[in-house]
Chain A
Amino acid sequence: MKYNRLLEGKVAVITSGAHGMGKHVSVWYARHGAICFINGRDPSGVETGEMLNEISPGSCFIRCDMSKREDVESFIRQVLERTDRIDNITNVVGINRSDLTDQVDDERFEYTQQVNLYGIMRLARGFWPSLKKTRGNIILISTIHSGATFGKNSAYASSKSATNAFARALAVEGAQYGIRANVVCPGGIYSSRQQERYFELRDDIEKLTDIGMRGEGGHPDYGSGSSNDIANACLFLASDMAAHVTGAAIMSDGGATFQSHKFRDFRTPSDYRDLWREFMLDRYEL
Chain B
Amino acid sequence: MDYQCLLAGRSAIVTGGAGSVGRAVALLYATHGANVVILDEDETEVEKTVKDLREINQKCSGFAGNLRDPESIAQLCDYAINALGTADILVNAAGSYLPGDAETLEEDDFIAMLDKNVNSTIRFTKAIIPYMCDNRQGDIINITSDLATASMPGTAGIAACAGAIVAFTRNVTMDYIRYRVRANCIVYPFDGIEGRRPLTGAPGPEDVANAALWYACKMSRFIIGDMLPVNGGMDYFAGMRGE
Interface of A with B (CB < 8 Å)? 1-4, 6, 32, 168, 171-172, 174-176, 178, 180, 187, 216, 220-222, 225-226, 229-230, 232-233, 235-236, 240-248, 250-255, 258-259, 267-269, 271-272, 275, 279, 282-283
A168 to B238, CA, bound (A): 11
A232 touches B219 (CB 8 A): yes
Known A244-B207, A245-B211, A258-B174: A232·B200 in contact at CB below 8 Å: no
Within the complex, the shortest CB–CB distance from B119 to chain A, in Å, comes to 23
Does B195 have its Cβ within 8 Å of any Cβ on chain A? no
A282 to B180, CA, bound (A): 12
A251 touches B233 (CB 8 A): no
Q: Which of B136, B200, B207, B236 contacts A172 (CB 8 A)?
A: B236
B198 touches A247 (CB 8 A): yes
Count chain B residues whose beta carbon lies closer than 8 angstroms to a beta carbon of A: 45
Known A244-B207, A245-B230: A255·B173 in contact at CB below 8 Å: yes
B236 touches A3 (CB 8 A): no
Known A241-B210, A279-B180: A236·B221 in contact at CB below 8 Å: no
Which residues from A are CB-within-8-Å of B236?
168, 171-172, 246-247
Interface string of B83-119 (1 = CB under 8 A from A): 0000000000000000000000000000000000000
B228 touches A250 (CB 8 A): yes
A217 to B174, CA, bound (A): 12
A248 to B136, CA, bound (A): 30
Within the complex, the shortest CB–CB distance from B223 to chain A, in Å, comes to 5
**Residue from A176, A216, A248, A272 whose CB has the most chain B CB atoms within 10 Å:** A248
Known A3-B3, A246-B199, A272-B178: A221·B222 in contact at CB below 8 Å: yes
Which residues from B are CB-within-8-Å of A247?
198, 229, 233, 235-236
Does B20 have its Cβ within 8 Å of any Cβ on chain A? no
**Residue from B4, B197, B233, B237 whose CB has the most chain A CB atoms within 10 Å:** B233
A176 to B242, CA, bound (A): 11
A104 to B133, CA, bound (A): 49
Does B191 have its Cβ within 8 Å of any Cβ on chain A? no
Does B177 have its Cβ within 8 Å of any Cβ on chain A? yes
Q: Give the 9 A-B CB pairs with smallest separation, nearest first.
A: A175-B198, A244-B203, A229-B222, A225-B222, A247-B233, A246-B233, A232-B219, A247-B236, A241-B210
A232 to B3, CA, bound (A): 11
A194 to B25, CA, bound (A): 38
Known A168-B236, A222-B178, A244-B230: A6·B136 in contact at CB below 8 Å: no
Which residues from A are CB-within-8-Å of B218?
232, 282
**Residue from A2, A3, A6, A279 whose CB has the most chain B CB atoms within 10 Å:** A3
- Please report which residues of chain B, range 200-243, place their CB below 8 angstroms from some CB of chain A when the two chains form the complex: 200, 203-204, 207, 210-211, 213-214, 218-226, 228-233, 235-237, 242
Known A229-B222, A241-B211, A251-B226: A171·B233 in contact at CB below 8 Å: yes
| CB nearest neighbor in B for A232 | B219
Does B79 have its Cβ within 8 Å of any Cβ on chain A? no
11 A-B residue pairings within 8 Å (CB atoms):
A2-B4, A178-B199, A229-B222, A244-B203, A245-B207, A248-B229, A250-B223, A254-B224, A255-B174, A271-B136, A275-B179
